[in-house]
Structure 1
Amino acid sequence: MDIFVTGGAGFIGGHLAESFAAAGHDVTVLDNYEPYYDLGIKEHNVEAVEAAATDSDGSCEIVDGSVTDADLLTSLTNQTDVIYHQAAQAGVRKSVEEPDKVNEFNVTGTVNVLEAARTNDVDRVVYASSSSVYGKPEYLPYDEAHPNEPVSPYGVSKLSAEHYMRVYNEVYGLPTVSLRYFTVYGPRMRPNMAISNFVSRCMRGEPPVIYGDGEQTRDFTYIADVVDANHRLLTDDSADGEVMNIGSTDNIDIETLAEVVRDEIDPDLPLEYTEARDGDAEHTHADISKANELIGYEPSRDIREGVGEFIDWYETNREWYEPLVVNS
């Protein structure tokens, strides 16, 4: 199949593109190499995609461009079967600083992707949404019927894009699926994430630093499970027109997460605390029963198993990855 991945040099997009290329598909990656974090990690993501294509019957084309370029999107997707729309201006705190930029990439960019898909009669568009659309919890775990009250411009942009996905399905008959990811982590993850920072500091003999009191909770989802959910949607139309949570087996408070990382690496290290960051949700926890019912999604790792695998990967790739975390 011909697969188009926006944001395909990023963390999730890179893993998707790599996995599709490894499976023998023809993959086109679009990324504008936005320097939200050190571009060295995007270079490694692209190398992984290219290596997967070389080792299989698949192919890959890497295009430096943006979802804000509607004409480029239309020309690149004229033979595409499925679009995996991962491109976005990431970062809750970044969105607080530059809400207009977040709207341009996350909302207008999504409309451009949908228009290209409609014009070229693409079979399906799978959209990377976020648990940030929920915001203030009325109950946990979040199911897809939970009210949406995002607490950051980033969350608002993701929710707006979801509505466009739904409308294009209902009005134009374009098959679309929105996946609400819950804090995805794993090899080649963004270097400014909590887990990568905790691991990096502990590896260097420094205490992990917790923003706030550590009582905030997160549902952390291993990257392999996200890849699995997306692969199921390559040919399965059971979730067309739907929004689904993609989360893990349970949630964990940040203090306990820091302790899990610390105990794996150096149990003698203390924990450090600093001021909480603006725009961060207090709690996230996914009810994944809908994704299980519609596409058979089941997470394969709990947080302790996933953290252990990430630490192993970190040690193997420490030479190039650690400087990116330290400087993030």
Structure 2
Amino acid sequence: MAERVLITGGAGFIGLHLTRRLLAEGARITLVDDFSRGRRDDALRDIEGEVEVVRHDLTRQIPDGLLPGDFDAVYHLAAAVGVQQVTRDPGHVLRTNILAATHLLDWCDRTGPGAVFLSSTSEFADGAAQLGAAPLPTPENAPFVLTRPHSARSSYALSKAVAELMLLQRASSTRVRIGRYYNIYGPRMGNAHVIPQFIERVVKGVHPFTVYGGDQTRAFCYVDDAVDATVRLMRLPTDAPLVVNIGNDQEELAMTELARRLLALAGARPELDVRDAPENSPARRLPDLTTLRRLLPDWRPMDLDSGLRAMLDWYGVPLATPSPEASR
């Protein structure tokens, strides 16, 4: 029998990649989205005939009858996200993310799905790592710390911490999975993130090439790898709740190095204009993936250059031809 799946935020970045993966495996899928961020573009229209799309704002209760009640798996990806939105309207971020989680859990209490996945964030552990209260790479048991509790940027981490706590405390009759995503990237992610912003500057031929927080380091995980880990964690037979970092711990690099790699792949050579990092942005972020590798020992993330090539191709940016010397 085909797996019955509900995906909130299904028209968004990770949501649509997850949908494609599950469709390829024969799942019957219902997508819920309010289309405030997710969009009805060609990528969504390509699959609309294969899924049920329900338009609903999760800051309102899910009325009885809006959705079927026999889902094997629920993936809660809907959220107000993105540094620009978070800093512009932190109250909206708090309200949206906490109410969405509350109303989804209310509905789960009534319908009893087999498993619930919550997409959480690396920012849960950023504060502890910055203060030295947790190591880098950072494990899942790092304490939750807000180094600047009144900063607008703290709103997103706080909203996800509340959602995690609610899910862990309330979902007594279903399997619980929480995935803390670390710097996921890939096609169709929107331009509110560093890699697509860099690619847009490549496309526009910006010179000099602006890099904010040049010494800050990150490790990026391609979206297909994050989706693979997500699906496989949901299908593990254990009933114990799981909180798992999902990301890449192998290719930590500075933002200036990320820019140089991307420019080299595109055959562009502008000078770099390195500026201060955004407010309250951590100097370093790196996940400890011990738990993920214990649970999924054969899981391997794509190397960064391959992922950047896929991104450039999606944006229609021609790749540089390697010189004869480089291929020797």
TM bracket, shorter-chain basis: 0.7 to 0.9
Equivalent residues in 2 for 1:161-180, closer than 5 Å = 161-169=163-171, 172-180=172-180
SS of corresponding position for 1:135: helix
SS of corresponding position for 1:149: coil
Residue 146 of structure 1 corresponds to: 142
**Given the alignment, which residue of 71, 74, 81 partners 1:80?**
71
**Given the alignment, which residue of 44, 47, 68 partners 1:46?**
44
Residue 159 of structure 2 corresponds to: 157
Residues 73/201 of structure 1: CA separation in 2 closer, same or farther (3 Å cut): farther
**CA radius of gyration, larger in:** 2
Deviation at 1:165, TM superposition (A): 1.5
| Pair 1:302-2:303 in alignment | yes
**TM-score after normalising by structure 1:** 0.85
Aligned length: 303
Residue 226 of structure 1 corresponds to: 226
In 2, distance between residues paired with 1:314 and 1:96?
27
More helix by share: 1
Residue 202 of structure 1 corresponds to: 202
Q: Structure 2: any 5+ residue segments left out of the alignment? A: 148-153, 319-328
Alignment identity in percent? 27
Which amino acid counterpart does residue 2 of structure 1 have in structure 2?
Answer: R
| Pair 1:236-2:236 in alignment | yes
Residue 323 of structure 1 corresponds to: none
Indicate conservation of the 8 Å contact 1:129/1:162, yes or no: yes
Indicate conservation of the 8 Å contact 2:83/2:192, yes or no: no
Residues 250/238 of structure 1: CA separation in 2 closer, same or farther (3 Å cut): farther
Residue 66 of structure 1 corresponds to: 57
SS of corresponding position for 2:31: strand
Residue 150 of structure 2 corresponds to: none
Deviation at 1:60, TM superposition (A): 0.5
Indicate conservation of the 8 Å contact 2:125/2:144, yes or no: yes
Residues 306/92 of structure 1: CA separation in 2 closer, same or farther (3 Å cut): same
Which amino acid counterpart does residue 177 of structure 2 have in structure 1?
Answer: V
**TM-score after normalising by structure 2:** 0.85
Residue 187 of structure 1 corresponds to: 187
SS of corresponding position for 2:75: strand
Indicate conservation of the 8 Å contact 2:203/2:317, yes or no: no
In 2, distance between residues paired with 1:45 and 1:101?
28
Residues 42/239 of structure 1: CA separation in 2 closer, same or farther (3 Å cut): farther
Indicate conservation of the 8 Å contact 1:182/1:220, yes or no: yes
Residues 238/284 of structure 1: CA separation in 2 closer, same or farther (3 Å cut): farther
CA RMSD of aligned residues (A): 2.2
SS of corresponding position for 2:62: helix
Indicate conservation of the 8 Å contact 2:112/2:173, yes or no: no
Deviation at 1:239, TM superposition (A): 7.1
Residues 178-219 of structure 1, C-alpha deviations (whole Å, 9 max, x = no match):
00001111111222211111112113322432123x111112
In 1, distance between residues paired with 2:183 and 2:114?
28
Which amino acid counterpart does residue 145 of structure 2 have in structure 1?
Answer: E
Q: Structure 1: any 5+ residue segments left out of the alignment? A: 318-328
